[in-house]
Structure 1
Amino acid sequence: MTTNITSLSKIESILLSTLSAEGKNIFTINDASAVLEKGKTEIRNILSTLSKKSWIDRIERGRYLIVPLEAGVERKWSEDSFIIASHLIAPYTISYWSALSYWNLTEQIPRTVFVASTHRKFTEQKKIVSIPYRFITLLPEKFFGIKTIWINNKKVNITDPEKTIVDCLDHPEYCGGIVEAAKGIWNGIKDKNIDLKKVTKYAVRINNKAIFKRLGYLCEILGIKTEQSNTWQNNISKGYSLLDPTLPDKGNYMRKWKLRCNIDKYNLIEWKEH
């Protein structure tokens, strides 16, 4: 049976087998140079050949992904998207809608991987092996609440459940809108996966008054009673904020929480009926 898997030369085989043995399925030009003890010009030529043979994929400048034998004759393969994200920028953390999904705070599985960093990426969006990546630049004071998880024996940074909720309330546009944030709060409380006292502590650190407004209103309409409500009320500003900044600036004003409710209550919690 014929296949389109092109054979490896001895030096190519040494490179890929060594990198794989070291757990470097994603590697840099420097990694390859260290294995083969050759100059970067020669290494680039070798990597170019491997890419043409479909044994590696270039995920960005100077960084490559090994395509293993399991990819089959069509050579279609992708490392876990969170692992790829961990190699794209530093420091980093998986965040917003991606973290919301990982912690089972929503049933939605976003196609885009959301990555937060204190460094600015040259491009805010990038597609790698058909997966879109979205980079969000945070101020250093907002870069906290990060946990380390393990995926395929690789360490990956991700915001903890409470920070994920606060981030989504801070920027609903990065989590699919305020409805997804509402789901996150409801599921987190129902499954005892979030601590509202910790959520409050994080919200104070971020210092965006709209977080307290959205949090208080959502808990109220979801029927979640908490002693934290008074703290949230004391931290709201006098001006009105949009409940969902991804939607048009219209709707009724909610005086208690200083919100303009630009999505009606039914559409906000309709998902609870299913």
Structure 2
Amino acid sequence: MNGLGKTDRKRLSAVLRGTKGTISVAEAAEILDMPGSGAAKLLSRWAKKGWLARVRRGLYVSIPLESRTVDVPLEDAWIIADKLFGPCYIGGWSAAEYWDLTEQVFRTLIVLTTQRPRDRKPTIKGTAFWLRTAPDSAMFGLKAVWRGLEKVNVSDATRTILDLLGDPQLGGGLRSTVDMFRNYLNSEKKDLKLLLEYAEQLGNGAIFKRLGFLLEQYTENEQDVIDSCREKLTAGNTKLDPTLKAERLITRWRLWVPERWTKE
């Protein structure tokens, strides 16, 4: 480790061995058995010497030996999201990609977090994040998956569809959200009973309206689920997609729908 003294080399080696993907001040302080202020100064000095890259205040990643620059891309943005924005989960189109519900490639990582960050669309080391705040009560239907040596929460396939029905923008808009929903209906991950349970637990009435309407559009053998959605209808009218102009009201679903989205 050129540019480092013997003591620093031993310390940095110990920190790299004792961490998984990212290095926080607290982790370094524990590994080196020193106060947090001392660990923070060490990490900052190593970053200036080019051995670490600062992701955010108090959080660093190691730089590969073969790298010729300290401006390295994030090795795994999921791990960084978990460290920076936890409690959180990877959701929306990012989860849909993970569960093979879409063939589209999205460059922005969607993170649903209990935090209320000021910057909802930060770019960190070249990776774009889109942060959406979710209450503690909405942190269900998640799957812990391994990312290297770390576990990160991602919404399971059914919870992913629930979130997309709650806000089609999380799927990249209505068209791609409907494509993901149809892929879900045709996949082994389909579990409409669980979807209804999740929707009831979340308590978003708009989801039942959108789900019932879309099931009528794209399935012929889910009448029991369609009937269950109708029983859960809440008062008031909702748009199929709040961002689109909707010319027609489907009264049985209390749903405003763009003309091209109805067969009738």
* Fold match (TM-score > 0.5): yes
SS in 1 for 2:100: coil
Report how far residue 129 of structure 1 moved. Answer: 1.1
Q: 1:140 to 1:33 in 2, by over 3 A?
A: closer
Q: Which whole-Å CA distance do the structure 2 matches of 1:127 and 1:69 have between them?
A: 24
CA contact (8 A) 2:166 2:204 kept: yes
* CA shift digits 1:120-168 (9 cap, x unpaired): 2343232211112222211222221111111113211111111111111
In the alignment, which residue of structure 1 is the partner of 2:215? 219
In the alignment, which residue of structure 1 is the partner of 2:227? 230
Structure 1: any 5+ residue segments left out of the alignment? 269-274
In the alignment, which residue of structure 1 is the partner of 2:241? 244
SS in 1 for 2:122: strand
Structure 2: any 5+ residue segments left out of the alignment? none
The 5 Å alignment of 1:125-164 reads: 125-164=121-160
In the alignment, which residue of structure 2 is the partner of 1:50? 46
Q: Percent identity?
A: 31
Q: 1:6 to 1:127 in 2, by over 3 A?
A: farther
Q: Which whole-Å CA distance do the structure 1 matches of 2:5 and 2:217 have between them?
A: 65
The aligned amino acid for 2:44 is: S
Indicate whether 1:74 and 2:69 are aligned: yes
Q: Which whole-Å CA distance do the structure 1 matches of 2:220 and 2:178 have between them?
A: 11
Indicate whether 1:33 and 2:29 are aligned: yes
Report how far residue 262 of structure 1 moved. Answer: 2.9
CA contact (8 A) 1:115 1:133 kept: yes
Give structure 1 regions of 4+ aligned residues with deviation exceeding 6 angstroms.
Answer: none
SS in 1 for 2:54: strand
The 5 Å alignment of 1:166-185 reads: 166-185=162-181
The size of the alignment, in residue pairs, is 261
CA contact (8 A) 1:57 1:66 kept: yes
TM-score under structure 1 normalisation? 0.86
SS in 1 for 2:83: coil
- Identify the range of structure 1 (56-65 vs 171-180) with the bigger mean alpha-carbon deviation: 171-180
TM-score under structure 2 normalisation? 0.89
Q: Which whole-Å CA distance do the structure 2 matches of 1:258 and 1:140 have between them?
A: 29
